[in-house]
């Protein structure tokens, strides 16, 4: 386990390598020579530079792309915050293994490997309305599981999650980090009715009140209000930064899971791109708070890394244009 204490983890979160200005600038210079008006490919151009910056290569590559889906169960479901029972988490992990979920299809189309990592599904986290979701030991174990999952041979990673009830801890973490109260961040998740939505708000308010002493510390917030799969995404996002691997973040839960890193370091999420804005209430506000403009807006709210995996195709397109387009000189095209 790479992190044996919160102090060790905190130190790792503030000691983050910067990206390569030289590689990003080389991409920008090449973009200006290609057969197009400068800047006319919009974000495709900046995506190519982003890849170069965080891979540390003047010519990025996407030979190995991997989607990690972390799965966890939540004690707060006892408060009636989900339209589905918690056993669906285990059932969906089996569906992933059988190739029957949306993420299986999207990963295949994107040319990405898929790794589903269940985290102690037989033992849900604590109900944060009554107790911390995780004590320090459980939190560090989950963070470490995510950190260890990411290997240095990867060129791009996508993070996603599966966990019945996990939009509730995501909303609680968002409220604790950025304020505004529970209602601002709370949506219908798996499709709860008005009464279920009210139960979610009440549960989050109770959690914020109970754990008020922890709310000054982003790591304390993640442990008290989060979940194992959220902690693992946090750890995996941190590992990617340390290893020089760019990250595509999925929807609301995934973004909330990574958000404490932005509170611990001013450029903590600079190596990430928001793949899409979820239809789940709160995600757009969270992206605005983090300064992460999304690539896609398709009304999706599935999770599983589905939006991040879709965005892999955009990143591949950006790299193909950057690497394979001719320059004005090569094509014999007159410049302005």
The pLDDT value given to residue 190 = 86
The pLDDT value given to residue 220 = 98
Residue closest to 176 by CA, chosen among 146, 196, 147, 206 = 206
The pLDDT value given to residue 13 = 98
Identify whether the C-beta of residue 233 lies closer than 8 Å to the C-beta of residue 159: yes
The residues assigned a catalytic role are 304
Identify whether the C-beta of residue 161 lies closer than 8 Å to the C-beta of residue 306: no
Identify whether the C-beta of residue 149 lies closer than 8 Å to the C-beta of residue 236: yes
The pLDDT value given to residue 58 = 95
What would the 3-class secondary structure string for 13-72 be? Answer: HHCCCCCCHHHHHHHHHHHCCECCCCCCCCHHHHHHHHHHHHHCCCCCCCCCEEEEEEEC
Cβ neighbors of 140 (< 8 A, separation 6 or more) are 1, 3, 4, 5, 6, 9
The pLDDT value given to residue 336 = 79
Q: Using CA atoms in the order 98, 99, 103, 108, what is the torsion angle rounded to 10 degrees?
A: 150
d(CA 250, CA 267): 19
Identify whether the C-beta of residue 214 lies closer than 8 Å to the C-beta of residue 223: yes
The pLDDT value given to residue 32 = 95
> Would you give the end-to-end CA distance of the chain in angstroms?
57
d(CA 222, CA 53): 29
The pLDDT value given to residue 246 = 98
Paired with 45 in beta bridges are none
The token pair at 71 is 């799965």
Cβ neighbors of 98 (< 8 A, separation 6 or more) are none
Phi, psi for residue 237 in degrees, rounded to 5: -65, -40
Helices vs strands, H then E, count in the chain: 15, 5
The pLDDT value given to residue 248 = 98
The pLDDT value given to residue 115 = 98
The pLDDT value given to residue 335 = 87
Average pLDDT for consecutive 10-residue bins of the chain (336 residues)? 94 97 97 96 98 97 98 97 95 98 98 98 98 98 98 98 98 97 94 95 98 96 98 98 98 98 98 97 97 98 97 98 96 88
DSSP tag of 276: B
């Amino acid at each position: 386990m790479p992190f044996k204490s919160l102090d060790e983890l905190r130190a790792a979160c503030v000691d983050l390598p910067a990206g390569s200005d030289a590689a990003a600038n080389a991409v920008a210079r090449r973009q200006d020579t290609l057969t197009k008006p400068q800047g006319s490919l919009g974000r495709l151009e900046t995506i190519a530079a982003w890849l170069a910056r965080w891979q540390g290569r003047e010519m990025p590559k996407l030979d190995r792309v991997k989607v990690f889906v972390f799965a966890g169960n939540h004690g707060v479901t006892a408060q009636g915050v989900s339209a589905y029972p918690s056993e669906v988490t285990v059932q969906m992990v089996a569906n992933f293994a059988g190739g029957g979920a949306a993420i299986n299809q999207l990963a295949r189309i994107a040319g990405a490997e898929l790794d589903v990592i269940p985290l102690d599904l037989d033992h849900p986290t604590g109900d944060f309305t009554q107790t911390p979701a995780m004590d320090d030991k459980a939190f560090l174990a989950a963070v470490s599981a995510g950190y260890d999952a990411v290997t240095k041979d990867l060129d791009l990673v996508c993070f996603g999650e599966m966990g019945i009830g996990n939009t509730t801890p995501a909303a609680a973490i968002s409220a604790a980090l950025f304020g505004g109260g529970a209602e601002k961040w709370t949506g219908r998740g798996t499709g709860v009715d008005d009464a279920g939505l009210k139960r979610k708000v009440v549960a989050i308010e109770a959690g914020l009140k109970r754990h008020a002493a922890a709310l000054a510390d982003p790591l304390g917030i993640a442990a008290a209000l989060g979940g194992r799969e959220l902690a693992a995404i946090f750890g995996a996002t941190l590992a990617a930064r340390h290893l020089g691997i760019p990250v595509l973040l999925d929807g609301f839960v995934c973004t909330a899971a990574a958000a404490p890193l932005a509170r611990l370091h001013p450029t903590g999420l600079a190596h990430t791109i928001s793949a899409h804005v979820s239809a789940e209430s709160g995600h757009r506000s969270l992206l605005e708070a983090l300064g992460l403009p999304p690539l896609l807006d398709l009304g999706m709210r599935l999770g599983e890394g589905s939006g991040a995996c879709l965005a892999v195709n955009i990143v591949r397109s950006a790299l193909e244009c950057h690497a394979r387009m001719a320059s004005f000189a090569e094509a014999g095209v007159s410049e302005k």
